[in-house]
């Protein structure tokens, strides 16, 4: 997401030699290429060490493009960090490399996570992944472009979404009436937004994949027929349009509507875009479920520093720290109390629309070790479903076959 460097930050709050130095690898969230993530961890570890003089924390901030690979390489080399804050945990849980949440956190902290996030952190019904920050998705729209096209309100149904996109194109020639990023950066999230808006997702209630269900095929077919085939998704084919590109186009005033997460607020407003947000439309109105997304933090067993890692993680998940990190990055807190504090604070008013659906949100099946392979297949293939001559059913059938094979290989985990 940002900085292309590795930054080692060793705190300096202890009065004498420490008994343990915890190794911590974290992702860089600074979308502007600055030092905000580095500064956050530097201040946090200094405060922690001043209260725990026998524990030092050695922090390495890595860009999102390499942090998962960095931790993977460390684990393979037998040099796992004590704590890692990355994108996925299931593979490490499946190979018994992680402490469970109840082994490291206090009862109070372990019980503080929002229920859908805690559930998503489970592998084989035991929680190993601790949600670090979260987000939901809303429909963003450009108020200036809407006014120029004579559009008075944001769409609430799929039919209204199509009609609004048509007006944007016909009345003012908007380049991207509805930006549809189905490129390999985050196509699995954009697709899940649509599936959820129609009442389904990638899995059934029991956790088995059902990617090519009749309703999912209908959903992707609707997107192809009503948006892509009508030329309402812009000059870049959805299969080649990445989220970052779509967000940048929105910030340039070239996009009428798109599905976005809270970080787009800062990007667009910095560029002077007058924007609005509403729930993502469904076939007949606002759907019951919205997509939630979380990044994860986990504690590795390798060095045996369970107690010290637990003390540090309890500190990380204090309301003060959870709210500070989420607030500075336009993301959402993962605990009940911090979420309530954000909802009550007027300075976070822009995030209220994202906060409201989070407690009932649906997350991707990140607890399944097969999900990494399935997610990669969705990223590479789903754009073909809406391409000229593409077959939504054939593409979803192919993804579902990959999912079934990956599930069998992982033992259904």
- Which structure tokens are listed for 388? 């000229």
Angle between helices 36-51 and 319-328 (to 10 degrees): 170
Residue with tokens 């990445």: 242
Find the helix or strand (DSSP H, E) in which 205 lies.
Answer: none
Give the gyration radius of the chain's Cα atoms.
22
pLDDT for the residue 206: 67
- Which structure tokens are listed for 284? 């007949």
Helices (DSSP H) in 97-254: which residue ranges? 101-104, 107-110, 115-120, 143-148, 158-172, 187-197, 214-223, 243-251
pLDDT for the residue 121: 97
Residue with tokens 């060095």: 303
pLDDT for the residue 5: 32
- DSSP string computed for 334-392: SBHHHHHHHHH-GGGGGGHHHHTTGGG-B---TTSTTHHHHHHHHHHHHHHHTSTT--H
DSSP 24: E
Find the helix or strand (DSSP H, E) in which 303 lies.
Answer: none
Which SS3 state, helix, strand or coil, does residue 103 take? helix
Nearest-angstrom CA–CA distance, 396 and 278: 29
pLDDT for the residue 68: 92
Helices (DSSP H) in 123-231: which residue ranges? 143-148, 158-172, 187-197, 214-223
- Which structure tokens are listed for 47? 């405060």
pLDDT for the residue 57: 97
- Domains of the chain (ranges; CATH) run 7-135+293-360 (3.40.190.10), 138-289+368-409 (3.40.190.10)
pLDDT by residue for the chain (413 residues), tens only, comes to: 333 333 444 444 334 456 999 999 999 998 666 788 999 999 999 999 999 999 999 999 999 888 999 999 999 999 999 999 999 999 999 999 999 999 999 999 999 999 999 999 999 999 999 999 999 999 999 999 999 999 999 999 999 999 999 999 999 999 999 999 999 989 999 999 999 999 999 999 768 999 999 999 999 999 999 999 999 999 999 999 999 999 999 999 999 999 999 989 989 999 999 999 999 999 998 777 889 999 999 999 999 999 999 999 999 999 999 999 999 999 999 999 999 999 999 999 999 999 999 999 999 999 999 999 999 999 999 999 999 999 999 999 999 999 999 999 887 66
Check if the beta carbon of residue 410 is closer than 8 Å to that of residue 370: yes
Nearest-angstrom CA–CA distance, 281 and 218: 16
Q: How many CA atoms lie within 13 A of 161 on its CB side?
A: 30
Check if the beta carbon of residue 151 is closer than 8 Å to that of residue 168: yes
């Amino acid at each position: 997401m940002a900085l292309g460097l590795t930054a080692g930050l060793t705190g300096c709050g202890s009065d004498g030699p420490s008994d343990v130095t915890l190794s911590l690898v974290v992702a860089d969230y600074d979308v502007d290429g600055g030092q905000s993530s580095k500064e956050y961890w530097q201040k946090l570890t200094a405060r922690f060490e001043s209260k725990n003089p026998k524990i030092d924390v050695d922090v390495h901030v890595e860009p999102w493009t390499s942090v998962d690979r960095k931790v993977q390489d460390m684990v393979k080399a037998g040099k796992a960090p004590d704590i890692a804050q990355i994108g996925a945990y299931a593979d490490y849980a499946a190979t018994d490399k992680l402490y469970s949440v109840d082994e490291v956190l206090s009862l109070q902290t372990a019980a503080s996570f929002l229920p859908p996030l805690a559930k998503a952190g489970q592998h084989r019904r035991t929680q190993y992944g601790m949600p670090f920050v979260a987000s939901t998705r809303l429909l963003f729209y450009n108020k200036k472009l809407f006014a120029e096209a004579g559009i008075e309100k944001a769409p609430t149904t799929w039919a209204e979404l199509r009609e609004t996109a048509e007006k944007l194109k016909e009345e003012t020639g908007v380049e991207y009436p509805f930006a549809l990023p189905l490129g390999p950066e985050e196509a699995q999230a954009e697709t899940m937004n649509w599936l959820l808006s129609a009442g389904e997702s990638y899995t059934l209630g029991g956790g088995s994949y059902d990617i090519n269900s009749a309703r999912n095929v209908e959903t992707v077919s609707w997107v192809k027929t009503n948006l892509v085939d009508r030329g309402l998704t812009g000059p870049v084919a959805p299969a080649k349009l990445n989220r970052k590109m779509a967000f940048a186009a929105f910030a340039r005033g070239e996009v009428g509507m798109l599905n976005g997460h809270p970080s787009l607020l800062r990007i667009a407003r910095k560029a002077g875009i007058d924007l609005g947000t509403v729930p993502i439309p469904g076939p007949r109105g606002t759907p019951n479920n919205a997509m939630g997304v979380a990044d994860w933090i986990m504690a590795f067993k390798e060095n045996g520093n369970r107690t010290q890692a637990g003390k540090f993680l309890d500190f990380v998940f204090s309301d003060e720290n959870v709210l500070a990190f989420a607030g500075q990055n336009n993301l959402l807190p993962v605990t009940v109390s911090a979420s309530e504090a954000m909802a009550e604070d007027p300075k976070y008013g822009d995030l209220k629309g994202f906060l409201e659906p989070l407690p009932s949100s649906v997350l991707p099946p990140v607890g399944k070790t097969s999900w990494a392979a399935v997610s990669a297949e969705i990223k590479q293939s789903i754009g073909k479903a809406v391409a000229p001559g593409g077959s939504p059913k054939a593409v979803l059938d192919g993804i579902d076959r990959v999912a079934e094979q990956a599930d069998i290989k992982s033992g259904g985990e």
